[in-house]
Amino acid sequence: MSMKLINNRYQIGGLDVIALCEKYGSPLYVYDTSKMKYQYNKMLNAFKEVNLKINFACKALGNINILRFFNNLGSGLDAVSIQEVQMGLKAGFNPKDIIFTPNCVSIEEIQEGASLGVKINIDNISILEQFGHLYGNAMPVCIRINPHILAGGNTKISTGHIDSKFGISIYQLPHVLRVVEANHMKVEGLHMHTGSDILDVEVFLRGTEIMLETAKNFHELDYIDFGSGFKVPYKPDDYFTDIDMLGKDLTRSFKKFCKTYGKDLTLIFEPGKFLVSEAGYLFARVNVIKQTLATVFAGLDTGLNHLIRPMFYDAYHQILNVSNPKGKPRIYTVVGYICETDTFGWNRKISEIHEGDYLVFLNAGAYCYTMSSNYNARLRPPEVMIYEGKDYLIRHRETLEDLLRNQVDVKL
Ligand SMILES: *Cc1c(COP(=O)(O)O)cnc(C)c1O
């Protein structure tokens, strides 16, 4: 955790968090870029013996300043929609450093990506066939393979299982090869992404072995993209992917493969969570302490409209009381202000809460702001980026005008 307790006050990057809450108001998203850089370098270091390219998965955290930060680090971009591609280009990414990996989109959207010059990753045979018919060997492609390894505890975020809509089944390889040959297509890359929260390095390595075996069928490869899904700790003593161990094992098999393949291929990863989850914080204020017959609720000035992961994925986000760091621990059920059951956590031990205190949700960097909404006509919070000891407002708090912007009042 990059938030530190110094003299009974929490700081991020040397900045006092209560002061940040008072300056920008509550609720508030804060991102610590030094943690992102740390994670980026950790991954680089674990794979220093191969040609590694890291593509930040921008659906995790899409603010253009964050994208530019990763571009400056030397990262590429993993985009899953044409709008993410356009955001990446706006942030200054070279088109060749963007891989467009959409799922179940129209051929028109893929063509738009191709016209922008980004790398195209195709995840079904129908589109592969149409793309090959349109471009032949004039436009190289990457193919998303589903190796059917089962990773991740949650089927909502696992994409490698048999009923998954993602990727082309490894068992359809003969059909893929037929389409590629008939259209004289240049396959420059192979890709897998088996979902988020991979618990087991062994399982991941099994997937990579299947990919390397598959790669022998393609003779013009430049890269193999092993996707992502690395697990980060969400609570103290939580399990997380041992990236150094993965680095050691995968480097060995990748180098061996490159030798027999006769070419030094690029190994690509496209992490979202690994790079930004722990760098993000959501601060919120306690509106009410509400004692019912069976529990004590702490009701906040935020809800599932700002942080839906606990309700959507049963995700655990650690919650701390930054206004009273050393108070007596007491048991609370922390809930939001939405007219919907939006429980952030049951029976949490948190240092004694008073109305008006600021709480913080940890691991609020990935899939938090990007999954937020205006449900209940609530406004989205501002985003603040901490860079080299300074805070920068990178998104305004929304206003009523934002909610009304695209509504057409026909005044019947
Ligand atoms: C979401 C996604 C990622 C990032 O996954 P994380 O678990 O956040 O690292 C990578 N690649 C693709 C294709 C994705 O859809």
What are the extents of the domains in the chain? 3-31+277-404, 62-271
Q: Count of CB atoms within 10 A of residue 139's CB?
A: 18
- CA of 272, closest atom in ligand 1: 8
Instruction: For residue 402, give the amino acid letter.
Output: D
Q: What is the CATH number of domain 3-31+277-404?
A: 2.40.37.10
Angle, CA of 242, 52 and 269, to the nearest 5°: 60
What pairing do the DSSP bridges indicate for beta strands 280-291 and 28-32? antiparallel
What integer pLDDT is reported at residue 196 of this predicted model?
66
The whole-number pLDDT of residue 151 equals 53
Structure tokens at 145: 């393979």
Ligand 1: centre distance to CA 289 (Å)? 38
CA 102 – CA 87 distance, rounded (Å): 15
| Cα separation, 352 vs 324, whole angstroms | 7
Residue with tokens 């593509």: 55
Contact 121, 156 (CB under 8 A): no
pLDDT in tens, the chain (412 residues): 589 999 999 999 999 999 999 999 999 999 999 999 999 999 999 999 999 999 999 999 999 999 999 999 999 999 999 999 999 999 999 999 999 999 999 999 999 999 999 999 999 999 999 999 999 999 999 999 999 886 555 555 566 677 788 999 999 999 999 999 999 999 999 999 977 666 678 888 999 999 999 999 999 999 999 999 899 999 988 988 899 999 999 999 999 999 999 999 999 999 999 999 999 999 999 999 999 999 999 999 999 999 999 999 999 999 999 999 999 999 999 999 999 999 999 999 999 999 999 999 999 999 999 999 999 999 999 999 999 999 999 999 999 999 999 999 999 9
* Sheet arrangement for strand 15-16: 3-6, 9-12, 15-16
CA of 397 to the centre of ligand 1 (A): 27
DSSP string, 31-70: EEHHHHHHHHHHHHHHTTTSEEEEEEETTS---HHHHHHH
Tell me which of 270, 276, 277, 313 to substitute to probe ligand 1's pocket, judged by most ligand atoms within 8 Å of the beta carbon: 270
What CATH number labels 62-271?
3.20.20.10
Q: Which amino acid appears at position 161 of this protein?
A: H
Query: Does the annotation count 58 as an active-site position?
Result: no
| Cβ of residue 336 lying under 6 Å from some atom of ligand 1 | no
Answer for the pair 120, 139: CB distance below 8 angstroms, yes or no: yes
Sign of CA dihedral 9, 10, 15, 19: negative
Answer whether 28's CB lies under 8 Å from 21's CB: yes
